[in-house]
Amino acid sequence: MMFGVTRSNYLFGGIVCCIIFLSSQIVASSYVDAAFAEYTSLGQATTAAQGNVAAAFSNPALLSTLKKSFIGSQSSSRYDSDISIHNIYATQHIKGLDLGLHVPVKQISNISETEANNSDEGVEIGSLSDIQIELQLSVSKCLTEHVSVGMSLKGEAHKLANETAKGIGLDLGLATDFNSVNVGARIENIVSKKIWSTGEEESLPTLYHLGVSYSPFETIMLLSDIVLGETKTLNLAAITQLTKNLSIQSGVADVLDTKKWGLGLDLDLSGFHITYSMSSAHVLGANHTLGVSLAY
Amino acid sequence: MLFVAILSQIIHADPLSPMGILVQKRGVSSLSFQRDLTPLSASPKRIKIIQIKNRRGLQVQGSEEPLRLYEFEVGSDIEALSEEINGQADVVYAEPLYPVQIFQTPNDTGYAYQDYLKESSLKFLDYIPENEGVVVAVLDTGVDRYHEDLSLNMWQNIADPINGLDDDGNGFVDDLNGYNFCGYTYETPDNDPMDQHSHGTHLSGLISAEQNNSIGIAGINSKTKIMAVKFLDERGYGNQLDAAMAIRYAVDNGADIINCSWGFYRKNTVLEDAMAYAESKGVIVIAAMGNTNTNLKEYPAAFSSVWAIGASSDSEERAHFSSIGEHIDFSVPGQDIYSLINGNSYGFKSGTSQSSAIMTGIVAKLLSNNPEATKSELYTLLKSVSTQSEAKDLILGYGIPDIEDLLLKLNLTEVDEEETVVVSFVGTMSISRFMNYPNPIIDSTTFGFESNESGAEIEIVIYNQLGDKVDSLSATSSSGYNKISWTPDTLLNGTYFYRTIITGTSDTYTKKGKLIVLQ
């Protein structure tokens, strides 16, 4: 495998260095749960899901595997409406670089504010909320016909109860393929810092994702992810192309423990994609996500 | 969203502001119906003729003109406009029509569980036989007449079955199960007094829930019939005119006692007239003092003909929320009282509302033993056995009736243990006020809750926003208030979810909640 050096390689490398430099200066970090239908319908096994726009915002290297540019929006209700997430996103190929922009907004409302009364028993005194907005800028570059790398810079503003925080984080990704096997890798939060109005500083744990996908038939793709961090998680999924315009997705996140299943479908109407997923977090309730996007 | 917010502000602008002005004019001539007031500083947007009818559907005001309700735009100075109208010729009175509301401290104000039928002198109520024949009208948010622990004790007006006709000619069509006066002022009453709030159902259970049926609780006099007379809406709000109509309905349809666990700090002639009407018919009206912890008079409790009931604590002192004043007659327990909740449920509520209902149950029980007893005789009897019978004060009135002493007065002996009516909570595990506190969590938090069962297994699992389990706790419950401490040592700031499962001998309680770690 050759790694030829061109002008665009220099440009990409410069951007990477610039982003890493900036991320180390801005001293903040953020993380908003993935807001895409595919994230749940594929059981979070998205690291090697080549050609999938939602997966490209998990593993930025996958941006270079998209055949078209996308613009879209999705809305998600999690745990029987305890959490609502809305996002907008767009991807574009510009001068050898594949760029992605993603803005998710998450809101959790009606959180009881409580305190102890004079008898040291709990009393409810009000209601609190948790609101996060994130700006994710992703860039990907094909190094060779079969290898691409990417990164995502994430900026975040967070209001939690009466405190606020600002943060920044950085993910790196890699995508490659060998015959009909696709391999993806992602280092999530390789840089991460978040500063609260209380003065507290936090860093999100760095997670290492390794994904493999394989298509035994033209209409089926099997996916698996291993996530290594403080715990180890195995995620499995499958994408089945039922017709030219309709595919269904199914997956199980954390197969070895909580087994959160997900189902979804993607309907392609002449470039307009309608995406829906539902999943279960068992005792916490059901998740539903609906989205629409335009591929051009 | 903005529209919703503005609409919400309009609907809830000020639930305590007057709703209009009730005007009573002199019937000086037949033309007076046509003659209106001289122009006011603000024009009414609507004037309604209000008919207060007797049991035959006739106007009760005699030769007087009917009442008129002047409605003004939101924000009008109703008090000033009332003064303007009062200054005009031929006006007998013009008074703001005030809203009324239930007296109930929120369930989460936090008080230790009190088994008032076991640990106070009220336990001796078991030794007083209960008999049929007493009808208690619960004027409130309605009653869940299908509740498993109350349905057999609901009053029915069998003379007016549901057939679209006013069979008994009492002016109310199909009032088989009582009547709903909520909205009478605006001509939208109906014949369905179902409870949409649970306040009225909770009170009714205290008075007359079934005894010894192996479910739920035991009412103080379970042979009492509950007449459901609704005039408070699903939020617990109503107005004095609807209340007055509800009182007249209860009196005219055979109530012996009327329980009023609601009120407002301004009085009103229409309401006062209705109370006087009840008094004239020998009906006992028992009302809650209010939960303001001040000497603010609340009506109807402050009307002289009404028994005003305050709340006592488990240490037989005034409950901290209970209002005080020279008009208070008696005090009875009102903290963390367990009774019925809509939909075959049960729960705790606190307030002078509950105290009023407990006193209503006591009076109903006494009256069932001596239907000829007068209001005055019953009052004197209860006063004579109360803890401050010779030294009435503003705090507890004559104090708390000592039922053991009452047994001696009534010359009743304790029945054999085997014959004792069992006040049981059989088959029902009750968990309430489950929450973690403080929230947000700075260092550590406590999961606290009330339980009536000891030995139940408690499991609390904490999840992150991805639904992954991050910690778990387990413990065993004790009867009373339970506390389980938790320190989120390694968690990042953010919102987390918890799910609790409490497995008792007969029931399982589950709850999902949210907590914030903010260190």
Categorize the per-residue pLDDT at B119 as very low, low, confident or very high, splitting at 50, 70 and 90.
low
pLDDT digits (tens, 9 = 90+) for B281-291: 999 999 999 98
Q: Do A252 and A234 touch, CB atoms closer than 8 A?
A: no
User: Tens digits of per-residue pLDDT, B344-383?
Assistant: 888 888 899 999 999 999 999 999 888 888 888 889 889 9
Both tokens assigned to B34: 């046509």
Please name the member of B468, B513, B514 whose beta carbon is closest to the beta carbon of A254: B468
- Contact, B150 vs B144, CB < 8 A? yes
With CA atoms as reference, report the closest residue to B48 among B82, B15, B11, B21.
B21
Domain ranges of chain A: 27-112+124-295
Question: What pLDDT, on the 0 to 100 scale, is given for residue B36?
Answer: 61
Take residue A182 and report the two structure tokens written for it: 């696709």
The residue in chain A having the minimum alpha-carbon distance to the alpha carbon of residue B107 is A123
Q: Are A175 and A62 in contact (CB under 8 A)?
A: yes
pLDDT of the residue at B64 = 56
Q: How far is CA A194 from CA A156, A189, B81, in A?
A: 9, 11, 59
Report the distance separating Cα B227 and Cα B402, nearest Å: 28
Residues of A in contact with B105 (CB under 8 A): none
Q: What is the pLDDT of residue B152?
A: 92
Highest mean pLDDT among A131-135, B116-120, B463-467: A131-135
> Interface pTM (ipTM) of the complex?
0.84
Q: Grade residue B82 by pLDDT with cuts at 50, 70 and 90.
A: confident
Phi, psi of B277 (to 5 degrees): -65, -45
In this model, does residue A7 exceed pLDDT 80? no
pLDDT of residue A239: 94
Q: What is the pLDDT of residue B219?
A: 87
For the question of residue B63 being annotated catalytic, the response is no
* Record: contact B516-A160, CB cut-off 8 A: yes
Question: Active site includes B199?
Answer: yes
For residue B2, give every residue at least 6 positions away whose Cβ sits within 8 Å of its Cβ, in sequence order, or none. Answer: none
The single-letter code of the amino acid at A196 is W
- Report the alpha-carbon distance of residue B135 to residue B256 in Å, rounded: 5
CB pairs under 8 A between A and B: 108
Judge contact between B502 and B508, C-beta under 8 A: yes
> Do residues A121 and A132 make contact, with C-beta atoms less than 8 angstroms apart?
no
Q: How far apart are the first and last CA of chain B?
A: 33
Query: In chain B, whose CA is at the least distance from the CA of A39?
Result: B466
Q: For the stretch A18-53, what's the b/e string if a residue is b when 16 or more beta carbons lie within 10 angstroms of its beta carbon?
A: ebbeebeebebbbbbbbbbbbbbbbbbbbbbbbebb
Q: What is the DSSP letter of B294?
A: S
Please indicate whether the domains covering B15-97 and B101-419 agree at the CATH topology level: no
Contact residues on chain A for B112, CB-CB shorter than 8 A: 119, 121
Q: Check A111 against B448: CB less than 8 A apart.
A: no
Question: What is the token pair recorded at B171?
Answer: 């002016």
pLDDT at B268: 85
Closest of A65, A45, A22 to residue A174, by C-alpha: A65
Q: Are strands B284-288 and B307-312 parallel, antiparallel or unpaired?
A: parallel
Residue A266 has pLDDT above 50, yes or no: yes
pLDDT value for B266: 84
Residue of B nearest to A164 (CA): B518
**pLDDT value of position B344:** 87
Q: Is cis: bond before B66, omega within 30 of 0?
A: no
> Which chain A positions have a beta carbon within 8 Å of B465's beta carbon?
33, 78, 83, 108
A4–chain B nearest CA distance, Å: 41
Instruction: State both tokens at B190.
Output: 């109906």
Please confirm whether the linkage preceding B18 is cis (ω < 30° from 0): no
Q: For tokens 């005119």, what's the residue?
A: B241
Chain B residues with CB under 8 Å of A257 CB are 469
Residue A114 sits at φ, ψ, to 5 deg, of -130, 160
Mean pLDDT across B496-512: 87
Q: In chain A, what residues touch B484 (CB-CB under 8 Å)? A: none
From A111's Cα to the closest Cα of chain B, the distance in A is: 6
pLDDT in tens, B239-268: 888 999 999 999 999 999 999 999 888 888
Residue with tokens 């507290």: A200
Contacts B472 to A, Cβ<8 Å: none
Using an 8 Å CB-CB cutoff, list chain A residues near B494: 130, 160
Among the residue ranges B205-219, B357-371, B406-420, the one predicted with the least confidence is B406-420
Residue at token pair 């679209």: B164
Instruction: Return contacts of B6-14, CB within 8 angstroms, 24+ apart.
Output: B10/B74, B13/B74
At residue A176, the pLDDT reads 94
Pick the CATH number of A27-112+124-295 from 3.30.420.10, 1.20.120.160, 2.40.160.40, 2.40.50.140: 2.40.160.40
Q: What is the mean pLDDT of residues A16-44?
A: 57
Most confident of A36-50, A122-136, B133-147: B133-147
Is it the case that residue B32 has pLDDT exceeding 70?
no
- Alpha-helical (H) ranges within B253-351 are 269-280
Contact B326, B296 (CB under 8 A): no
CB A287 within 8 A of CB A280: yes
Predicted confidence at residue B73, as pLDDT, reads: 77
pLDDT in tens, A189-218: 999 899 999 888 988 889 999 999 999 888
User: What does chain B come to in residues?
Assistant: 519
**Inter-residue contact A271 to A296 (CB < 8 Å):** yes
Q: Examine the residue annotation and report whether B147 is marked as an active-site residue of this protein.
A: no
Residue of chain A with shortest Cα separation from B481? A121
Q: Are B458 and B475 in contact (CB under 8 A)?
A: yes
Answer yes or no: do B109 and A123 touch at CB < 8 A.
Answer: yes
Chain Cα centroid distance, residue B43: 36
Instruction: Kindly list the domain boundaries of chain B, sorted by start residue.
Output: 15-97, 101-419, 431-517
Residue of A39, A76, A77, A112 to mutate, interface with B, max B Cβ within 10 Å: A112
Check whether B408 has a pLDDT greater than 50: yes
- Position A50: which residue type? Q
> Per-residue pLDDT tens for A60-78?
999 999 989 999 999 999 8
Tell me, what amino acid is at A57? F
Among B92-96, B106-110, B337-341, B502-506, the minimum mean pLDDT is found in B106-110
Average of pLDDT values for B475-488?
Answer: 89
pLDDT at A20: 40
Q: Which of A108, A113, A115 sits opposite B495 (nearest CB)?
A: A108
Cβ burial of B225 (10 Å; 0-12, 13-18, 19+) is: buried
Nearest CA in chain B to A280: B467
Q: What is the structure's pLDDT at B405? A: 83
Task: Give pLDDT tens digits for B289-302.
Answer: 998 888 888 999 99
In sequence order, the β-bridge partners of residue B441 are B517
List the one residue out of A230, A169, A28, A116 whose CA is nearest residue B442.
A116
Confidence of residue A21 (pLDDT cuts 50, 70, 90): very low
Mean pLDDT of chain B: 81
Cβ B455 vs Cβ B477: under 8 Å: yes
Indicate the residue of B435, B461, B463 with minimum beta-carbon distance to A124. B435
The dihedral sign for the CA sequence A141, A143, A147, A153: negative
Q: What is the mean pLDDT of chain A?
A: 85
Q: Tell me, what's the pLDDT at B101?
A: 61
Amino acid identity for residue B71 in this structure: E
CB-nearest to A121 from B440, B481, B494 is B481
Rg, chain A, Cα only: 20
Spatial separation of the C-alpha atoms in residues B227 and B179, rounded to whole Å: 9
Which CA distances in Å does B409 have to B6, B82, B372, B440?
60, 51, 17, 55
Residues of B with CB under 8 A from a CB of A: 106, 108-112, 433, 435-440, 446, 448, 461, 463, 465-469, 481, 483, 492-495, 497, 499, 512-516, 518-519
DSSP-assigned letter for residue A22: H
Higher pLDDT, B454 or A92: A92
- Of the pLDDT bands very low, low, confident and very high (cuts 50, 70, 90), residue B146 is very high
Instruction: Enumerate chain A positions whose Cβ falls within 8 A of a Cβ in B.
Output: 33, 78-79, 82-83, 108, 110-117, 119-124, 128, 130, 160-161, 163, 165, 196, 198, 200, 202, 204, 254, 257-258, 260, 281-285
- Give the whole-number percent of chain B exceeding pLDDT 70: 84
Residue A9, phi then psi, degrees to nearest 5:
-65, -40
CATH of span B15-97: 3.30.70
A131, β-bridge pairs: A107, A159
Q: Are the beta carbons of B16 and B236 closer than 8 angstroms?
A: no
Tell me the pLDDT tens digit for each residue of B44-78. 777 777 766 554 444 554 445 677 888 887 778 88
| Out of B109, B438, B493, closest to residue A116 by CB | B438
| DSSP class of B264 | B
Residues 6+ apart with CB under 8 A from B283: B250, B251, B255, B256, B257, B258
Best of A76, A121, A162, A231 to substitute, by most chain B Cβ atoms within 10 angstroms, is A121
- Token output for B394: 């503003």
Are the CB atoms for B288 and B323 separated by under 8 Å?
Answer: no
CB-based contacts of A266, cutoff 8 Å, min separation 6: A38, A246, A247, A248, A249, A273, A274, A275
Q: Where are the beta strands (DSSP E) in A37-146?
A: 70-78, 83-94, 97-116, 122-142
Q: Place B2 in a pLDDT band, splitting at 50, 70 and 90.
A: very low
Fold assignment, B431-517? Immunoglobulin-like (2.60.40)
pLDDT in tens, A105-124: 999 988 988 888 877 888 87
Q: CA triplet B323, B374, B154: central angle to 5 degrees?
A: 75
Say if residue A16's pLDDT is above 70: no
Residues B193 and B228: beta-carbon distance below 8 Å:
yes
Percent of chain A having pLDDT more than 70? 89
| Confidence at residue A235, expressed as pLDDT on a 0 to 100 scale | 93
Query: If we measure between CA atoms, which residue out of A30, A53, A50, A58 comes closest to residue A253?
Result: A58
- For residue B436, list chain A residues with Cβ-Cβ distance below 8 A: 114, 122
Catalytic hit among B147, B197, B199, B202: B199
Please give the class, per CATH, of domain B101-419.
alpha beta
From the DSSP assignment, how many helices (H) and strands (E) are in chain B? 9, 23
Phi, then psi, of B159 in degrees rounded to 5: -75, -10
